[in-house]
Amino acid sequence: MTVTVDIGSLRQLATLSALGVTSPDGDGGYIPKPTALSPAEWRCAIEKASARSAERIFSATVVAMATHIFRGRFHAGMTTQTQLTWVDRAGVTHIANALEVVDTEGAGVETVVAAAEVKP
């Protein structure tokens, strides 16, 4: 089986960062300070996650939490500690945390990410 990526479907641009060192938030707590991945920009296709679409790729535990599924060219630096930021067609900025990262068929061609959007 050959894994291919339809680059014409990669219409969104997500900025990738890793949740790294924590810093004080001023209220006695700590917040993670994101660090940009290399490369930090990732062309991808974004779709709303449904039970059906998520079950085809990910385990049942992720299905209940995932809000979006991202597909794009392989990115070796992405993990479950990755934060994805993108702007939709209406100009609204969204932030999501990766729940699961899959290298399709282990071929190093396509990365698929199940993510949960963080609501402000």
Question: What is the pLDDT confidence band of residue 106, given thresholds at 50, 70 and 90?
Answer: confident
pLDDT category at 115 given cuts 50, 70, 90 is very high
Domain limits at 82?
7-21+31-117
Provide the pLDDT for residue 59.
65
Evaluate whether residue 66 is within a structural domain: yes
Per-residue confidence band for 37, with pLDDT thresholds at 50, 70 and 90: very high
Q: Is residue 1 part of a domain?
A: no
Number of domains in the chain: 1
Contacts of 56 (CB under 8 A, 6+ apart): none
Collapsed DSSP state (helix, strand, coil) of residue 51: helix
In a domain, 50, yes or no: yes
Q: Distance between CA 84 and CA 99 in Å, rounded?
A: 11
The CATH number linked to 61 is 2.40.10.270
Report yes or no on 2 lying in a domain.
no
Evaluated on CA atoms 33, 36, 41, 42, the torsion sign reads negative
pLDDT per residue over 59-103, tens digit each? 655 556 778 999 999 999 999 999 999 999 999 999 999 998 999
Could you tell me if residue 26 is inside a domain?
A: no
